[in-house]
């Protein structure tokens, strides 16, 4: 596709429900990131994939959060037993190459999924 696509655009869940958020990165992009953006805050890193390998999940706030990218393209972020504090915009980003602290790749962001937990 032309850009990073995320679905659904909006998700309302009752507390305790499980949710699954989908990210379709740009075709051929190796790196994929998930970020969480709470209202009025900057995005915070959740997890990073290089192809199908989850290389960094240090930002996942609890074991209720789980992400996968089984075939190295589409990724799903799953949140089990949602809590009100999970309400946020979840952003997905991808880049063509592998990332590293001295790499110069460009990151492309999706429009995000706004999750509201009631």
Partner 1 sequence: AQSVTQLGSHVSVSEGALVLLRCNYSSSVPPYLFWYVQYPNQGLQLLLKYTSAATLVKGINGFEAEFKKSETSFHLTKPSAHMSDAAEYFCAVKGNTGKLIFGQGTTLQVKP
25 binds partner 1 (CB under 8 A): no
Q: Six-digit token pair at 102? A: 């001295």
**DSSP letter string, 83-103:** -GGG-EEEEEEEESS---TT-
| Residue 40 neighbours by CB under 8 Å, 6+ apart | none
Answer yes or no whether residue 103 interacts with partner 1 by CB under 8 A. yes
Residue placing its CB nearer to partner 1 in the complex, 12 or 16: 12
Note whether 70 binds partner 1 by CB under 8 A: no
Nearest approach, Cβ of 88 to partner 1 (angstroms)? 13
Cβ partners under 8 Å of residue 63, min gap 6 = none
Asked if 102 touches partner 1 (CB under 8 A), the answer is yes
Task: Name the site residues for partner 1 (rule: CB under 8 A).
Answer: 3-4, 31, 33, 40-45, 48, 56, 59, 91, 93, 99-104, 106-112
């Amino acid at each position: 596709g032309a850009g990073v696509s995320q679905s659904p655009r909006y998700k309302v869940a009752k507390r305790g429900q499980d949710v699954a958020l989908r990210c379709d990165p740009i075709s051929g992009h190796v790196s994929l990131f998930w970020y969480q953006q709470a209202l009025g805050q900057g995005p915070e890193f959740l997890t990073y994939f290089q192809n199908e390998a989850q290389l960094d999940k240090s930002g996942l706030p609890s074991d209720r959060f789980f992400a996968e990218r089984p075939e190295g393209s589409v990724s799903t972020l799953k949140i089990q037993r949602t809590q009100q504090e999970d309400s946020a915009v979840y952003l997905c980003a991808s880049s063509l190459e592998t990332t590293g602290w001295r790499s110069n790749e460009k990151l492309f962001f999706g429009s995000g999924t706004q999750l509201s937990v009631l």
